[in-house]
Amino acid sequence: MTNSSPPPPKGLRWHLREATQDLHAEADRLAGRFALDARDGYAAFLRAHALAIPGLEAACAAALGAEWPDWPARARTGALKADLATLGHPAPAPLPPPALGREAALGAAYVLEGSRLGGALMLRQVQAAADPVLHRATAYLAHRPQGDTWPGFVTRLERALPGPEGWAAAAEGARHAFAHMLAALRLPPAPNPETHPETHPETHPAGAPPRAAAAHV
């Protein structure tokens, strides 16, 4: 006898997870290129995130700020800058923020918040490094919004889009957010400012734009 019971209902989180799993695998693969236990490798990792995270945070704040007034407490741009400064690196000029409507911004928020889960694993690698300077540069990976957890975020996300009508737009926003992250992760690392101060590209002359963000995927 075959089991004819219907499959369990799936919420937005599972829809987004399925819609982005290929891109998550690519992010995971690219992240593996950074030696998180060495100053240059870890600085390159932080720099790649500092290229991508500010634009995504700004796009989500613009689209969701009125609905989620506590959104700014989730921002990690300041933590990234502080960690880079601890390692002696200036923060790069971020990639331009993508334009996201409400549903797409909810998908991008899922990517931003979900990236904390992998970050917890990476934090352990940094904390296991022999270099104590690295241990002082973990504000980004250790950042947690007060009083909120991943399950709490997922509950809010699913309440914000309870029916499937907006899920395709949310999935598109999530894929766009992953593409933004992947574009930054693929850029070549900047030279170490301590060994190549004259060629360091972070000192963008005013008006010199950073490279364009990823194409839509």
* Residues 61/100, Cβ–Cβ less than 8 Å: no
| Nearest alpha carbon to residue 128 among 115, 141, 117, 116 | 141
Minimum distance, C-beta of residue 178 to ligand HEM, in the bound complex (Å): 6
Please, which residue, 153 or 193, has the CB nearer to ligand HEM? Answer: 153
Please, which residue, 13 or 200, has the CB nearer to ligand HEM? Answer: 13
Minimum distance, C-beta of residue 36 to ligand HEM, in the bound complex (Å): 10
Please, which residue, 24 or 102, has the CB nearer to ligand HEM? Answer: 24
Minimum distance, C-beta of residue 71 to ligand HEM, in the bound complex (Å): 17
DSSP notation for the chain: ----PPPPP--HHHHHHHHHHHHHHHHHHHHTTS-TTSHHHHHHHHHHHHHHHHHHHHHHHHHHTTT-TTGGGG--HHHHHHHHHHTT-PPPPPPPPPP--HHHHHHHHHHHHHHHHHHHHHHHHHHTSS-HHHHTS-HHHH---TT--HHHHHHHHHHHS-SGGGHHHHHHHHHHHHHHHHHHHHSPPPPPTTT-GGG-TTSPPTT-PPPP-PPP-
List residues near ligand HEM by CB under 6 A.
13, 17, 24, 27-28, 31, 110-111, 114-115, 117-118, 121-122, 178, 181
Please, which residue, 81 or 176, has the CB nearer to ligand HEM? Answer: 176
Please, which residue, 55 or 114, has the CB nearer to ligand HEM? Answer: 114
Please, which residue, 16 or 87, has the CB nearer to ligand HEM? Answer: 16
Minimum distance, C-beta of residue 6 to ligand HEM, in the bound complex (Å): 22
